[in-house]
């Protein structure tokens, strides 16, 4: 029952917003009493924290699955970009913005988890790219992995990138191009150009 409550709550929170969905709404949607929810979660805040971590773990598993495909490092980043584009395009609300505004403690917890996972993923991608001769061997992996994390966060800042000027897909496309052009060897650039040609051809 606890997992069912988390899954249904995540669906409602992401579609309608963390602030607007009440415990009564969740109970009514599930056909259970509010008392049943409180048996597992003492407060709405604890339920929100559980749903935020649950969604984060789902996303992490999907990204891990991409890395497990053992694609070349450049293809890997394109696949991750496609996943992020599809995932974020399907969201009706901005959960991260809402957490930051209304539940800052949960937002801080989630951001730390995101940093740890993303830094590990980006560092691994950089190491494999260097080993394959696709990325320059003089890269500071620790520095670039941190810049990557912060830059991806900045793309979601609508004050810096207003939605009426920048689409999510264009932002991710341009940032990935910017990132790869800065780290690739001539061999990597050749592969990137071929990748872009194929994408544009489609």
- What distances in angstroms separate CA 136 from CA 140, 150, 174, 188, one per listed residue? 10, 21, 20, 9
- With bands split at pLDDT 50, 70 and 90, how would you rate the model's confidence at 176? very high
Of 6-15, 88-97, 155-164, 174-183, least confident by mean pLDDT is 88-97
**Whether the Cβ atoms of residue 180 and residue 139 lie closer than 8 Å to each other:** no
User: Whole-number mean pLDDT of the chain?
Assistant: 91
Task: Supply the pLDDT for residue 92.
Answer: 59
- What distances in angstroms separate CA 183 from CA 121, 130, 138, 140, 186, one per listed residue? 16, 9, 9, 10, 10
Tokens in use for 10?
Answer: 């995540």
- 38-72 tens-digit pLDDT: 999 999 999 999 999 999 999 999 988 998 888 89
**H helix intervals, the chain:** 2-16, 23-30, 34-40, 44-67, 73-89, 95-102, 104-131, 141-155, 168-183, 186-201
Q: Which domains does the chain have, with CATH numbers?
A: 55-201 (1.10.357.10)
pLDDT average, residue stretch 7-27: 93
Q: Report how far residue 28's alpha carbon sits from residue 41's, in angstroms, rounded to the nearest whole number.
A: 16
Task: Give phi and psi for 81, each to the nearest 5.
Answer: -60, -40
**Whether the Cβ atoms of residue 54 and residue 10 lie closer than 8 Å to each other:** yes
Task: Supply the pLDDT for residue 91.
Answer: 63
Q: Report how far residue 113's alpha carbon sits from residue 128's, in angstroms, rounded to the nearest whole number.
A: 23
């Amino acid at each position: 029952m606890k997992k069912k409550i988390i899954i249904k709550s995540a669906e409602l929170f992401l579609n309608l917003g963390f602030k607007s969905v009440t415990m009564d709404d969740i109970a009514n949607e599930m056909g259970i009493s509010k008392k049943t929810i409180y048996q597992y979660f003492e407060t709405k805040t604890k339920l929100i924290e559980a749903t935020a971590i649950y969604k984060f773990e789902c996303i992490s598993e999907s990204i891990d699955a991409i890395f497990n495909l053992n694609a070349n490092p450049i293809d890997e980043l394109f696949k991750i970009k496609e996943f992020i584009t599809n995932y974020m395009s399907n969201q009706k609300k901005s959960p991260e913005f809402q957490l930051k505004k209304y539940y800052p403690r949960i937002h801080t917890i989630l951001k730390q988890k995101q940093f740890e996972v993303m830094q590990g993923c980006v560092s691994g991608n950089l190491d494999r790219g260097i080993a394959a001769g696709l990325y320059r061997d003089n890269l500071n992996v620790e520095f670039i992995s941190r810049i990557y994390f912060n830059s991806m966060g900045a793309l979601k800042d609508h004050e810096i990138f207003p939605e009426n000027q920048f689409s999510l897909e264009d932002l991710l496309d341009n940032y990935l191009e910017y990132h790869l052009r800065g780290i690739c060897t001539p061999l990597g650039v050749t592969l990137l150009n071929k990748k872009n040609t194929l994408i544009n051809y489609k």
